[in-house]
Structure 1
Amino acid sequence: MDEQVKDYLHYLVIERGLSDNTIKSYRQDIVGFVSFLRGRQINSFKKVDSKTILEYMKQMKDEGKARNSVIRFVSSMKKFFSYLHKYHYIVENPMVNVDTPKSANHFPDVLTVNEVDKLLTMPDVSDKYGIRDRTILEVMYATGLRVSEVVNLKMDNLHLEMGIIQTIGKGDKERIIPIGTEAIKWIYEYMEKSRPLLLKKRRSEYLFLNAHGGGISRQSIWQKLKHYVALAGIKKNVTPHTLRHSFATHILENGADLRIVQELLGHSDISTTQIYTHVSHEHLNKAFDEFHPHA
């Protein structure tokens, strides 16, 4: 089984061109399932039937796994067993009779404009790290980039004189994103006053650097964001993705077309973008309740 899993993950890299984070998720789902199979003395994917899959899903639920984790597992297994069937590793696909659980109506946490404004002012811009952190936050809110896209931004991805940046998103898809004047101002500030000090006469193709002159990590951005959220006194559960959600919601609330938001976020399917219409409608409902005399 280990060899077949290894071949599949290699296939995802070479044939599908999926990102490291996506492949990591597939690996995590499959390895967890293989461990379950070995605990049941099942040593071949040929011996897996739909009942086995459902038993593992029940175990996930009993362990308190989130509904979205179970949904992702089913999606991973459908693709994995489809691959095994296509290349004749198995005779029958056990996932044919397994339905994907319905996702709960989960709307992402979104910051208000005032909360974003307060958050952006939290880094101490009197030193090189504060300037860098302020610039990262400005870029994330101005563009809606995923944190993985932010850490992979390279110097030659910047076309600031034209007000745009390039990025490589999921599935190695390139997109061009406009970036506002405030974020551009901070990028120039960072490149003049902070980046050379972090670089320490070394060379790096990455825009955002750590204390050693290498590219900053996703984990580092996550930790710093948590720190600044606490400083700002914001009680919401804020992650790097929250800034992406806030970016999308705020431009929708200000009249942007859903298709434009889809392009900016790099969603291949507009149904993924439609979650933000629900968030935007919630905003409208709250405004109606607050301001309409007969609400």
Structure 2
Amino acid sequence: MTTENLKLRSDFLRYLKLQRGANANTIDAYEHDVDKLLNFLEQEGRPVVETQLEDLQTFAAQLHDIGIGPRSQCRILSGVRAFFKFMVIDGYFEQDPSELLENPVIGQHLPEYLTPEEVDRLKDSIDLSKPEGHRNRAIIEVLFSCGLRVSELVNLKWSQLFREERFLRILGKGSKERLVPISDLALHEIDNYLPWRNSLKIKPGEEDYLFLNRRGSHLTRTMVLIMLKQQAEEAGIQKTISPHTLRHSFATALLEGGADLRVIQAMLGHESIGTTEIYLHLSNQSLRQAVLEHHPRNIKDRESL
């Protein structure tokens, strides 16, 4: 990669961190996206500052040609757009060449979700004779009751738990803060986990983390994923389970309970309501029942009977 392109990449990553407050995972993903673009432009002999929409369309077509799926293409192009937005801000372009760049057409993907009964089965399958049993029950209940991202769960600290007020102070994507209510059941599961936690030899600097492993260190996302997959197998749940499954289950339960989509957006920490709309997957029967119960024509008809 040329010296000029290396500097542009470095400046972009610094911009993401300092001005947009992006987390390490986002920065790492964008770095890989921009590397693909810069390598492509170098192969084409096109200086970055002379990039046009046609170049980006060719780049997008190449992603398809090498077998990258539509969703991964969308993610890469999102990183590319962020890069050119930065270049406009920094004065390299007057007009953003990626502004009219289109994403590939993809079908709507509705991730798996669990019913409350399935969440209970998941928790009940845990062997409480194992040291970490109560911890795992607490993890599942906090994910389901609060709708946290797995990164938010593994970084959750005691200082973020306001017990009497019954809420969590969550630092989400882009270092944006939100307040999330926590249920009495989730607090109860945390209380059951505390005796084991208090028996651990906690590593210096890890004292404030809520969920710890046997070595006294905070958990990783991979640890939580492995635990959930094992418990799903123990519980006989055939669905593909991940931490996001419980986040999706949280949103689904709220929606089916009658919560407004804007409330769900706030609880999940979504910047755009469009992101929250992927959770609108109520069954036809649920939709039919909602129309029968709430549409004014149906209400009027019932009252006249």
| TM-score, normalisation: structure 2 | 0.85
Change (3 A) 1:266 1:198: same
Counterpart for residue 196 of structure 1: 198
Q: What is the distance in 2 between the residues matched to 1:107 and 1:17?
A: 29
State the number of aligned residues: 285
Match of residue 260 from structure 2: 257
Query: Which of 58, 61, 79 lines up with 1:58 in the alignment?
Result: 61
Following TM superposition, by how much is the alpha carbon of 1:43 offset from its aligned partner in structure 2, in angstroms? 6.8
- Give the unaligned 5+ runs of structure 1: 289-295
SS at match of 2:214: coil
Structure showing greater Rg: 2
Residue of 217, 224, 235 corresponding to 1:232: 235
Question: How far did residue 67 of structure 1 move?
Answer: 1.5
SS of corresponding position for 2:180: strand
Q: Distance in 1 between matches of 2:106 and 2:11?
A: 30
Q: Distance between the aligned counterparts of 1:165 and 1:36, measured in 2?
A: 45
Matched, 1:116 2:136: no
Q: Does 1:27 align with 2:24?
A: no
The one-letter code of the counterpart of 1:194 is W
- Partners of 2:34 and 2:284 in 1: how far apart? 37
Q: Percent identity?
A: 37
Summarize deviations over 1:74-115 as a string: whole Å, max 9, x none: 222122112223323357643134223344222221112222
Give CA-to-partner distance per residue, 1:4-52, whole Å, 9 cap, x none.
Answer: 11111111111111222222221121122233334x2537312433333
Match of 1:149 among 128, 149, 152: 152
- Tell me the equivalent position of 1:14: 18
- Matched with 1:169 is 172
Question: Alpha-carbon deviation of 1:280?
Answer: 1.9
Counterpart of 1:291 in structure 2 is: none
Q: Deviations over 1:163-204 (max 9, x none)?
A: 21111111211111111111100111112x221233348552
Deviates more, 1:80-89 or 1:210-219: 80-89
Aligned-residue offset at 1:238: 1.5
**1:99 maps to what in 2?**
102
Partner of 2:299: none
Uncovered stretches (5+) of structure 2, i.e. residues with no partner = 291-305
TM-score by length of 1: 0.88
The residue identity in structure 1 corresponding to 2:244 is H
Q: 1:217 aligns with which of 190, 205, 220?
A: 220
Counterpart for residue 74 of structure 2: 71
Distance 1:142 1:171, change over 3 A: same
What is the alpha-carbon distance in structure 1 between the residues aligned to residue 46 and residue 214 of structure 2? 47
Residue 162 of structure 1: how far off its partner (Å) = 2.2
Q: Distance in 2 between matches of 1:157 and 1:181?
A: 16
- Rounded to whole Å, the distance in 2 between the matches of 1:144 and 1:96 is 33
Whether the aligned pair in 1 keeps the contact of 2:202 and 2:217 (CA below 8 Å) is no
* AA in 1 matched with 2:196: S
1:118 offset after TM fit, Å?
0.9
Whole-angstrom CA distance in 1 between matches of 2:240 and 2:40: 32
1:53 to 1:43, Cα distance in 2 relative to 1, 3 A: closer
Partner of 2:8: 4
Match of 1:126 among 125, 129, 132: 129
Distance 1:172 1:43 in 2: 36
- Check 1:74–1:180 CA distance in 2 against 1; reply closer, same or farther (3 A cut): same
Match of 1:284 in 2: 286
**8 Å Cα contact 1:152-1:206 kept in structure 2:** yes
